[in-house]
Amino acid sequence: MSNEPALKILEPKLDDLERNANALRQVINDLRKEDGLPPLVPGGGTGGGKAAPSAEASGGKLTSIKSDTFFGKKMQTAAREYLEMRKASIGDGPATPREIYDALLSGGFKFEAKDETTALISLRALLRKRSAFFTKVGSKYGLLSWYPEHKARRAASSGAVDGQTQDDIDDEIADAEADEAAA
C-alpha cells in the first residue's frame, strides 16, 4: 500500500506551517537583535533561547562554520570571528589554540606554513601578541572585549589609546601577518 495520497495532503500543510513559523521566528529574532540577544535556533522551536547553530548569518554575525567561512580571511579576523561564533552558538567563549586551529581549518582558512606544527605555533603567537584583541583565560584564549574589567586594567597599565579605526587595525593585522609569512 502506498503512502502517496497521505503525503500529497500532509506535505503542503507542513510547508505552510514552516513558512508561518519562519515568519514568526524572524520577528522574534529581530526583537532579540534589538536587545542584543542571540537569535533563536531555526527550524525547531525556541531551543531554550540558545543561539542558532546554523550556517545563517544573523544580524551580520555568523553562528556556525561552513567550508568557506574563513576562506581568504586574515588569521586574526578568522580567529576573532570563530571565537564570536563559538560564544554565540554554544555559549562557551574561550578556546584552546588547537580548537581555534581546527575550526579555522574546517572553515577553509589556509595557513601559510610548511606543516601543522608551524601553523599552530603561528596561531599561538598571534593570540599572544595581539593582546588588544585576545586575552589568555587559563589555558584558553578569549576576546578581550568579553572582559571589560580586564580590558580597562590593561589599557590603564599600558597607556593604550582607544580611537583606532578599523582601517588602522586592519593595516596592523596585514603588517603582522606579512611579517609572520616572511619568517
User: What is the model's pLDDT at position 183?
Assistant: 56
User: What is the model's pLDDT at position 176?
Assistant: 61
pLDDT at 12 over 90: no
Q: What is the pLDDT of residues 153-169, one digit of tens each?
A: 555 555 544 445 455 55
Q: Which residues pair with 30 in a beta bridge?
A: none
Confidence of residue 49 (pLDDT cuts 50, 70, 90): very low
Q: What is the pLDDT of residues 18-45, one digit of tens each?
A: 777 777 777 787 787 777 776 665 444 4
Q: In whole angstroms, how large is the CA radius of gyration of the chain?
A: 21
The rounded mean pLDDT for the chain is 75
Greater model confidence, 149 or 68: 68
Q: What is the pLDDT of residues 82-112, one digit of tens each?
A: 999 888 876 777 999 999 999 999 999 999 9
Q: How many residues does the chain have?
A: 183
Total-model pTM: 0.53
